[in-house]
Amino acid sequence: MSVKVEKLEKNVVVLEVTVEGAKFAQEVNRVAKTFANRVNIPGFRKGKAPRALVEKHVGKETLYNEALDHLLGPTYAEAVKESGITPVDRPEVDVVQVEDGKELIYKAKVTVTPEVELGAYKGLQVEKEAAVVDESAVEAELKRRQDQYAKVITLEGGKAEEGDTVNIDYEGFIGGVPFEGGKAEGHDLVLGSDSFVPGFEKQLVGAETGQEIEVNVHFPEEYRSKELAGKEALFKVKVNNIKRKQVSPLDDEFAKDVSEFGSLDELKADIRRKLLEGEERRVETAYRNAIVAKAVENASVEIPDVMIQAQVDHMVEDLAHNLEYQGINLEQYYQYSGSNEQEMRERFRPQAAENVKSELTLEAIGKAEGISISDDELNEKLVQLAEQYHQPADALRANLEANGGLEGFKANLTMDKVVEFLVENNA
């Protein structure tokens, strides 16, 4: 078999593959025998009819097409390996010559991974910001813990305030007519949470238990329900009860109740330390991302649309999986957000293109610097991952290999190593 490579514009390559005539004839004969075992030819037992009669019975084109189906896959894979290209989509195949006694010749047109023109990626001198914890963050965490451990009491008297939880029955009307989805009983609403139509919660501030109130609202023009968007509505609301959080004072007793520390100062010091650790991690991540972003910005590459579309597909799949954990599917998400799949895919395109460019740039830097993952490094990482999942490393490796995930795992490790290289050579 021989392969000729013709490069076209925009990362498109045409492979002209020539398969030996003997190999093609052998495959056609094998197909003919298969058909001889499957079809009834008068005067012959199954499998005993000569090829000429089988060919006459099913047609030469049928034999050729069947032979092509068996040959194209493996010969194309071999041609890809021999030519050294990296296809990013399925090829368009055009058969040039298919005839008895002659070589099989076909052309495969395919989009390949584009070449990256690297810019500066060493000595970028990206600065790392200082990790600082503002005292207000410590106070905010203390307040969060106050709220977390607060007692909730039902008011015997008094008026509802921001932050209170009111239990209400309500029914909504537009033009004096009740609308679908506008009625509920025993609903808990936190005043100030902005979880209802704008203006609704503010009109309940100052309400008392047992009070019946008429609340007037205007649905936003971009409201998720098109039937309600932009319309005026009246809600008849009854306040069943009012609940209020009763927080403990911030003192040493509070620290003892909510932590292992004996004083408020010790608790504050621990909060400050943990916040600083988190801030250091955030700063380090931002620093590394900025270095990669700068190297990517300095590079030039023309990205095939098929690679962007594939990345968008992954982003849609990731969104679908994340939504599953929240108990909703994509169709429900589109309904809630007032969007659709086409609009969402268009929103994803810029980020998808950036993701692809980043990956291509890091791969190009890795090749330029000869960065790779050795067998020892791969085994070490597999052992670490296996320990996290509490399973033998050999079993984890076998599972990755069976699912075709080992090469992807190795590629991710290589990308991590390239990023380490960029960080080390930032100065």
> Residue 173's domain is classified under what CATH number?
3.10.50.40
Q: Has residue 385 been placed in a domain?
A: yes
Domain hosting residue 215, numbered range: 151-246
d(CA 72, CA 245): 72
Is residue 41 pLDDT above 80, yes or no?
Answer: no
What are the tokens at 317? Answer: 């799949």
* Beta-bridge mates of residue 16: 4, 107
Is residue 29 pLDDT above 90, yes or no?
Answer: no
Is residue 42 pLDDT above 90, yes or no?
Answer: no
Which of 46-60, 131-145, 276-290, 307-321 has the least mean pLDDT? 46-60
DSSP per residue, 169-185: EEEEEETTEEEEEEEEE
Residues 340 and 382 in one domain: yes
| Boundary (domain end) residue, out of 59, 92, 111 | 111
CB 191 within 8 A of CB 166: yes
3-state secondary structure 354-401: HHHHHHHHHHHHHHHCCCCCCHHHHHHHHHHHHHHCCCCHHHHHHHHH
What are the tokens at 230? Answer: 């932009």
Is residue 16 pLDDT above 70, yes or no?
Answer: yes
Residues 193 and 336 in one domain: no
* Strands, sheet with 12-19, edge to edge from the N-terminal-most edge strand: 2-8, 12-19, 104-111, 92-97
Q: Has residue 296 been placed in a domain?
A: yes
Calculate mean pLDDT across residues 5-13: 89
Rounded mean pLDDT of the chain?
92
Q: Has residue 118 been placed in a domain?
A: no
Residues 20 and 161 in one domain: no
Calculate mean pLDDT across residues 136-160: 94
Calculate mean pLDDT across residues 15-29: 92
Is residue 47 pLDDT above 60, yes or no?
Answer: no
Is residue 117 pLDDT above 80, yes or no?
Answer: yes
- Which residues 6+ apart lie within 8 Å of 293 measured at CB? 358
Residues 336 and 235 in one domain: no
Residues 156 and 76 in one domain: no
Q: Has residue 366 been placed in a domain?
A: yes
d(CA 198, CA 217): 7
| Boundary (domain end) residue, out of 83, 111, 139 | 111
Calculate mean pLDDT across residues 398-419: 91
Is residue 77 pLDDT above 60, yes or no?
Answer: yes
Specify the CATH number for the domain of residue 272: 1.10.3120.10
pLDDT band at 44 (very low <50, low <70, confident <90, very high): low
Q: What is the pLDDT of residue 33?
A: 82
Calculate mean pLDDT across residues 24-41: 79
Q: Has residue 125 been placed in a domain?
A: no
Residues 166 and 86 in one domain: no
Q: What is the pLDDT of residue 43?
A: 58
Residues 216 and 297 in one domain: no
Is residue 232 pLDDT above 70, yes or no?
Answer: yes
Q: What is the pLDDT of residue 175?
A: 92
**Residue 306: CB atoms within 10 Å:** 15
Residues 377 and 409 in one domain: yes
Q: What is the pLDDT of residue 227?
A: 85
Residues 274 and 239 in one domain: no
Q: What is the pLDDT of residue 213?
A: 96
**How many domains does one find in the chain?**
3
Specify the CATH number for the domain of residue 17: 3.30.70.1050
Residues 274 and 308 in one domain: yes
| Boundary (domain end) residue, out of 54, 86, 111 | 111
- How many percent of the chain have pLDDT more than 90? 75
pLDDT tens figures, 282-313: 999 999 999 999 999 999 999 999 999 999 99
Is residue 34 pLDDT above 90, yes or no?
Answer: no
Residues 167 and 286 in one domain: no
Q: Has residue 140 been placed in a domain?
A: no
d(CA 322, CA 343): 19
Is residue 132 pLDDT above 80, yes or no?
Answer: yes
pLDDT tens figures, 329-344: 998 888 888 889 999 9
Calculate mean pLDDT across residues 183-196: 94
What are the tokens at 423? Answer: 């960080």
Cα of 44 vs its chain's centroid, Å: 59
Closest by CA to 355, choosing from 293, 286, 283, is 293
Residues 282 and 399 in one domain: yes
Q: Has residue 135 been placed in a domain?
A: no
Q: Has residue 343 been placed in a domain?
A: yes
Catalogue the E-assigned strands of 83-207: 92-97, 104-111, 151-154, 165-174, 177-190
What are the tokens at 88? Answer: 């990013």
Task: Name the DSSP letter for residue 249.
Answer: P
